[in-house]
Amino acid sequence: MLTIVAETDACQRAANQGQRLRDGWNRAFADHSVPWAAYGFTSSTYLFTNPDGMDLDPAAFDAHAMAPQVMERAAAHPAAVKLRLALMTEGVDLSGKMGAITSAAHGNDDIDNAVAAMGRALEAVRAEGDL
């Protein structure tokens, strides 16, 4: 494992897939008119569920510009739990912190499927009346 990390581009591939995931989920939020955002760095992705209803553009969200007390509540929207459950039914399991980690083993199809799953999950949560 350490040889792979040291001698290949595995870390960069994981980081690239993390960026593809964040970009795709932010497109899904924008396409479904949900003022939430995916943010993170390298292979880590987290969701800002905008519990205070701020006006935000998912594609332009900057977590570093947010006050710490706002980011402490990043996943506090009442619909966050339902989104996590809806994603699970789509085969995507977020961590309890409402995040995901990509690896070098995640291919483009995996990311594309996770992005499509987010769109369907948002539709399901909206159908419940929570978005």
Q: Domains (ranges, CATH) in the chain?
A: 11-127 (3.90.1150.10)
Q: What is the pLDDT of residue 14?
A: 97
State pLDDT tens for residues 73-109. Answer: 999 999 999 999 999 999 999 998 899 999 999 999 9
pLDDT of residue 17: 98
Q: Which of 113, 93, 90, 98 is nearest to 20 (CA)?
A: 113
What pLDDT is attached to residue 96? 85
Q: pTM for this structure?
A: 0.94
The pLDDT mean for the chain works out to 96
Distance separating alpha carbons of residues 17 and 105, to the nearest angstrom: 10
In the predicted model, residues of the chain with pLDDT beneath 50 are: none
